[in-house]
Chain A
Amino acid sequence: METDYIFDGSFEGLLTAIYDGYYEKNPPRQIIPKWAYQFELTKTFHEVVTNSDKFSKVSKAILDKIGREAFVKIYYAFLSEDTYAGITIFNYVKLGFKLGTRIQLYLTEPTVAKIEELNRKVGNERHRFLGLLRFHKLNSGVYYAPYSPQYNISQIIVPHFAKRLATMNFIIHDTKRKIATIYDSDTKEWYLSAFDANQYSLIAEDKYQHELWKAFFKNIAIKERKNPNLQRQFMPKMYWGYLVEKQ
């Protein structure tokens, strides 16, 4: 009989759940992070215990049998935090073990189509924030970028900035999930950490830069061609809160 699987919300936890899905008596009905699960007295569930051995076995099997491209797609789908991401990934892996790398061709198969859709969404938001993220220079010399993305994209945008702004110390702060990626220009390394902005005194020195940037933003538009719909379509309002030029 199918049952609900609950995991700790980590990628390691998810791949452990997939391992369990193969060997447990009851296959998964859905695979959900603990924080999103609605506990009910009458429902039984299987609690996944994250296990690094199981994680490595499943990762290796995916890489060997379905390929690197599929592995990245699975990771992106996981970052979407979609309710069905867990079970879709489980079905995708199952299908992938049968079809191998050719799974990429089955674009009309519902599971594959769902994975593709989640990838498109997460990938699009990642690309958007490569442009829309705004850093503020703090009086400590650190560059601080708060943002609130729809999907959990911090891990996949940081490498881009670590390459580009390699000589700057910076913090990218996901205010929605209360996590920050902190990059250290001496060691050229970054790490992920829980982060509460209220515990730090973040003092920006950037008022003048904001003024310059806003002046540019205003004057670069051709007013005879004004088109707010088009602007919103490319740059949805939900992102405006952290955009200097939209304050």
Chain B
Amino acid sequence: MFKDFTNVNQCFPGGIHMELVKKLEILSAAAKYDVSCSSSGSKRKNTPDGIGNGHVAGICHSWADDGRCISLLKILLTNNCAFDCAYCINRSSNDVQRAAFTPDEVANLTMDFYMRNYIEGLFLSSAVLQSPNHTMELMIKAVKKLRMEYRFNGYIHMKAIPGADRELINEAGLLVDRMSVNIELPSSESLRLLAPQKSKDSIIKPMGQISNSILAIGEERKIFKGTQKFVPAGQTTQLIVGATPETDRTILKLSEGLYNKFSLKRVYFSAYVPIVAHPLLPVLAAPPLLREHRLYQADWLLRFYGFTANEILTEENPDFDPNLDPKCFWALCNLDLFPIEVNKADYFMLLRVPGIGVKSARKIVSARRVGILRHEDLKKLGVVLKRAKYFITCNGKYEGNYKFLPENIKLSILSDGKKNDRFEQLSIFDMTTKLPTIEDQLISASGQL
């Protein structure tokens, strides 16, 4: 397609630009373990002389070779780190190539990419350069240039560096759309072992500050419309799964707590990728992707399906069944509640049926107002019948074909699932339909779970 484009590249003689490409290579590779890619939640409007705006639902601009979406220019300001966290590729004692962008370079890259529609905005993180304050100051400089000088109104997600001053976090919060502080590991004990320079306190403090400011400024904006927005797309966090011995239940209860206490928008999970050898870290053959997948599924159940962590995982069963998604697992443990009649059951009960998602539950509630639903109608509404049929009746009819016992249903669901052997990051629409059997093999090879 570019054959009619002549090569015009005289304005960039060798030296300088090679250097920038090299930096970008190093500092995007160093940022790749941050999972968050979302550009949603901000309604920031463009200004008359500005470039860019927010899109509430977020927009993915590409998908990388690992199948993860690329929405933001995800880079570190620098990977030159003063800290020495055992799990991290950028730890000070690790022998990797170091690089640092200037704030101007970050701002210019963002603009150039944004104007070509490569990205939805900037995700700026950083290793701790000299001190947390110094690092935050440089990051703020880059973002200020974007907002003030270039009149950039696109999406900006910035990491708060644990240990930075309140004033800096506040200043950043007034410029960006989303902030996040990585909780890193699921317990303070693990944190003490693997990230000795970070403490639970240094992580929780900025998180609390951000959530308080969001609330306070939100209230103020109700009265004074002109009040500057503070982190309008909310805050998120991320933690590493599989590097430390916590159970799935511990992790899920932790995320539930974070949602309730700090009203986080998302808790991201990152399957531990063994990139550095360390006596305190487990030896894994592969990242525990299936476990990460199950945690995300359970996370959807917490946020959109009205489940509590205690319902999903009990003290007797503190870890997920690798073969079954959490909703199926729950339904099989609570068979006494089923089958339910789709023409009568309330919305929240519909949501609890495996194979019925938020969209199809809403459609069922609409469509049954004007007629009785039969099994063949449910297909048109997006219900995954091969899963749902065991748990529902339509106008009194049951089509499960199996004896209503957990073991029978589990077996037949699993034999259906075998056909689907691809692993996918789930979306709200298909969360109950995918069984990642390739990953099952990976997991059994690594012995985790």
Task: List A contacts of B7 (CB < 8 A).
Answer: 207
Task: List A contacts of B118 (CB < 8 A).
Answer: 134, 213, 244
A139 vs B71: C-alpha distance in the bound complex, in angstroms?
Answer: 27
B5 pairs with A203, CB closer than 8 A: yes
A209 vs B31: C-alpha distance in the bound complex, in angstroms?
Answer: 20
Give the residue name and chain of the B residue nearest to A214 (CB). B21
Task: List A contacts of B6 (CB < 8 A).
Answer: 203
> Distance (Å) between the CB of A45 and the closest chain B CB?
32
A230 pairs with B287, CB closer than 8 A: no
Interface SS, B side: loop
B380 pairs with A132, CB closer than 8 A: no
Count of residues in B whose CB is under 8 Å from the partner chain:
74
A92 vs B381: C-alpha distance in the bound complex, in angstroms?
Answer: 18
A108 pairs with B2, CB closer than 8 A: no
Write out, one digit per residue, whether chain B residues 111-143 have a CB within 8 A of any chain A CB (1) or not (0). 011011110100000000000000000000000
A207 vs B69: C-alpha distance in the bound complex, in angstroms?
Answer: 24
A158 vs B393: C-alpha distance in the bound complex, in angstroms?
Answer: 46
Q: Which A198-222 residues have a C-beta within 8 angstroms of B?
A: 198, 201-209, 211-213, 215-222
Interface SS, A side: helix
B115 pairs with A235, CB closer than 8 A: no
Give the residue name and chain of the B residue nearest to A130 (CB). B59
Task: List A contacts of B48 (CB < 8 A).
Answer: 166
B273 pairs with A105, CB closer than 8 A: no
Task: Decide yes or no whether A187 CB sits under 8 A from chain B.
Answer: no
Given A130-B59, A215-B21, A220-B28, also A167-B50 (CB < 8 A): yes
Task: Decide yes or no whether A223 CB sits under 8 A from chain B.
Answer: yes
Count of residues in A whose CB is under 8 Å from the partner chain:
68
Binding stretch for chain A, among B175-183, B205-213, B328-336, B420-428 = B420-428
* A-B contacts at CB below 8 angstroms, number: 193
A221 pairs with B32, CB closer than 8 A: yes
> Distance (Å) between the CB of A91 and the closest chain B CB?
17
A226 vs B289: C-alpha distance in the bound complex, in angstroms?
Answer: 12
Given A108-B381, A219-B25, A244-B118, also A227-B62 (CB < 8 A): no
Task: List B contacts of A231 (CB < 8 A).
Answer: 63-67
Task: List B contacts of A213 (CB < 8 A).
Answer: 113, 116, 118
A225 pairs with B115, CB closer than 8 A: no
> Distance (Å) between the CB of A162 and the closest chain B CB?
10
Task: Decide yes or no whether B17 CB sits under 8 A from chain A.
Answer: yes
Q: Which A150-190 residues have a C-beta within 8 angstroms of B?
A: 160-161, 163-168
Q: Which B250-289 residues have a C-beta within 8 angstroms of A?
A: 271, 273, 286-287, 289
Given A165-B51, A215-B28, A234-B69, also A222-B422 (CB < 8 A): no
Give the residue name and chain of the B residue nearest to A146 (CB). B1
Task: List B contacts of A102 (CB < 8 A).
Answer: 370
Given A134-B116, A221-B66, A224-B287, also A230-B5 (CB < 8 A): no
B62 pairs with A243, CB closer than 8 A: yes
> Distance (Å) between the CB of B440 and the closest chain A CB?
15
A225 vs B71: C-alpha distance in the bound complex, in angstroms?
Answer: 18
- Smallest CB-CB A-B distances: 3 pairs: A230-B67, A221-B64, A227-B67
**Residues of A that sit less than 8 Å from B by CB:** 102, 104-108, 113, 127, 130-137, 139, 143, 145-146, 160-161, 163-168, 197-198, 201-209, 211-213, 215-231, 233-235, 241-245, 247
Q: Can you list 26 residue pairs at the A/B interface with Cβ under 8 Å?
A: A104-B366, A107-B367, A108-B373, A131-B71, A132-B61, A135-B116, A164-B51, A202-B5, A203-B8, A205-B9, A206-B116, A211-B21, A212-B24, A215-B21, A216-B24, A216-B113, A217-B70, A219-B32, A220-B32, A220-B74, A221-B66, A224-B286, A226-B65, A227-B65, A227-B423, A228-B65
